[in-house]
Amino acid sequence: MKSIVEVKKTVARPEKVLQFGEGNFLRAFVDWQIDIANEKTGFNGNVVMVQPLAQGMAGMINEQKGLYTTVLRGIQKGEAVCDLRTITSTSKCLNAYEQFDDYIGYASSKDLRFVISNTTEAGISYAEGCTLEQTPPASFPAKVTQFLYHRFKAFNGDTTKGLVFIPCELIEKNGEKLHQFVVQYAKEWKLGEAFLAWLDEACVFCNSLVDRIVPGYPKNEAAELCEKAGYQDNLLVAAEIFHLWVIETQGDIESLKKEFPLADAGLNVIWTNDMSFYRTRKVRILNGAHTMFVPAAFQYGLDTVEESIKDPIIMAYLKKGLFEEIIPSMDGDKAALENYAGDVLERFANPYIRHMLLDITLNSTSKFKTRDLPSVIGYIEKKGKIPPALSFSIASLISFYKGVNVKDRAMKGTRNGVDFLIKDDEDVLHFFEDLYAENNASTEKGAKTIVKAVLSNTAFWAEDLSKSAVLENAVLAAFIEIQSKGMKQAITEFVNL
């Protein structure tokens, strides 16, 4: 079979978007939308991807000249839908560590207007030791600061050459926090008042919320899907049909909508001055449900979300946490929240989406802080007691992070005698590796030490969760059950209480 580059042609357009992140989600969400906007509106712009880490997919993407196929599948009006679309909106992917000059050269681009990112929840953060001279600095906000300073100098402070940032990381006020760290680096690096003034006057930092389930490469069906497409594509990316992008800005909404005409292309994009309702609903219910049940379901022996939804024990656990704890912890109309949660469960059950549980576990510590910890705290405040399913989920997360041999942001875990990779930032992985090496989780003393150390780690939670003795005891009890009986028995007994 011929490759995609032999069958499909690239389309040369002005490169208007710089995208930090080349993973499945951005390609199946942002770049897919830009491709449709190119077809249906006068946007006429391509995306240049930047690989934000030293290791990544730049090589594969460039081998296919930026071309790839999205596979959208689901049930609409009772009918099965499968839509294959060849994406031509991405020009190339640059490895900023190996192609720094090419990457930083885009700071001088007259066509560039938008910057998109998805560097995971941990990506928008401050890291000490980053400098303007590094090629590039390690942290994403430091990269942005460096890039913007090069642009500021290239155009002599021209305020018409500012950029619009739309981060997709699932943290609250993601654009505002990115701006905050950029300003922090600018001051630390002594880049000058003129540059700081240009940042505020010329650049726009939007907050945004993204919603689409993207399992990624459909490994088991790749051959069949390539046959259907008529070419070999090693970058197939599968996703559900549903999509929602909420973009919040205090700037001129109408002018930004015209510049980035996704809504005009018929896409489900909402521009607003206040996205709090959409964000809280989605992060706490959809993302929170994922992060709550997935570590437990994986240790239970399952591999996909669909398998989990079909399993009566895991489904009972998920519903208990979702309807009895997460929703009661939230403000707003209960019936409306429950209806949204029902829709989420239907999306989880999409038979065409093979969403691997291990993929969802990436960076689970930072995800739990963003997605589930607010529900834990909200439930305690509203009910005056500890949420049992969410406490069990913390114990499941701690149990999941038992591993050895940290290397390349991963460490080896074992499930039923089979090795798998636990993926997170290396400082997180080293913390757990050392903790389990020094303590025997199967003893009460060791379990107490492990749970105490995790809950009191303020680097994870931004507060000391062990200060709540009741919460610590609930997590410890669940952790001991998991360690002594195994996940299958422990969670079965939990849901049957």
pLDDT of residue 121: 67
Q: Say whether 468 sits in a helix, a strand or coil.
A: coil
Which of 182, 210, 202, 181 lies closest to 251, judged by CA? Answer: 202
Pull the structure tokens for residue 126: 């401050």
Of 380 and 52, which is predicted with more confidence?
380
pLDDT single digits (tens) 266-318? 999 999 999 998 989 999 999 999 999 999 999 999 999 999 999 999 999 99
Distances (CA, A) of 277 to 166, 208, 244, 294, 403: 18, 12, 14, 25, 38
> Six-digit token pair at 372?
């589930």
Pairing mode, strands 15-20 and 114-117: parallel
Q: How far apart are CA 454 and CA 373, in angstroms?
A: 14
C-alpha 78/C-alpha 377 separation (Å) is: 39
Q: Express each pLDDT in 75-113 by its tens digit.
A: 776 778 899 999 999 999 999 999 999 999 999 999 999
Cross-strand pairs, 407: 410
pLDDT tens digits, one per residue of 196-224: 999 999 999 999 999 998 989 999 899 99
Q: Which residues pair with 210 in a beta bridge?
A: 245
Specify whether the backbone of 72 is left (phi greater than 0), alpha (psi in -120 to 50) or beta: beta
Residue 440, CB-side half-sphere exposure with 13 Å CA sphere: 5
Domains along the chain?
4-272 (3.40.50.720), 276-495 (1.10.1040.10)
d(C-alpha 145, C-alpha 191), whole Å: 10
Query: Which DSSP letter does residue 401 get?
Result: T
What pLDDT digit, counting tens, does each position of 439-469 carry? 999 999 999 999 999 999 999 999 999 999 9
For 96, 147, 190, 338, the CA distances from 140, given in Å and listed in that order, are: 11, 10, 19, 36
Confirm if 37 and 265 have CB atoms less than 8 A apart: yes
Tell whether omega for the bond before 136 is within 30 degrees of 0, i.e. cis.
Answer: yes
Mean pLDDT, the chain, whole residue set:
96
124-150: per-residue pLDDT in tens? 999 999 999 999 999 999 999 999 999
Query: H or E segment at 63?
Result: helix 58-63
Of 393, 208, 358, 194, whose CA–CA distance to 288 is shortest? 393
Who contacts 207 (Cβ-Cβ below 8 Å, separation ≥6)? Answer: 167, 173, 174, 175, 176, 247, 248, 249, 275
φ/ψ of 457, rounded to 5, equals -75, 95
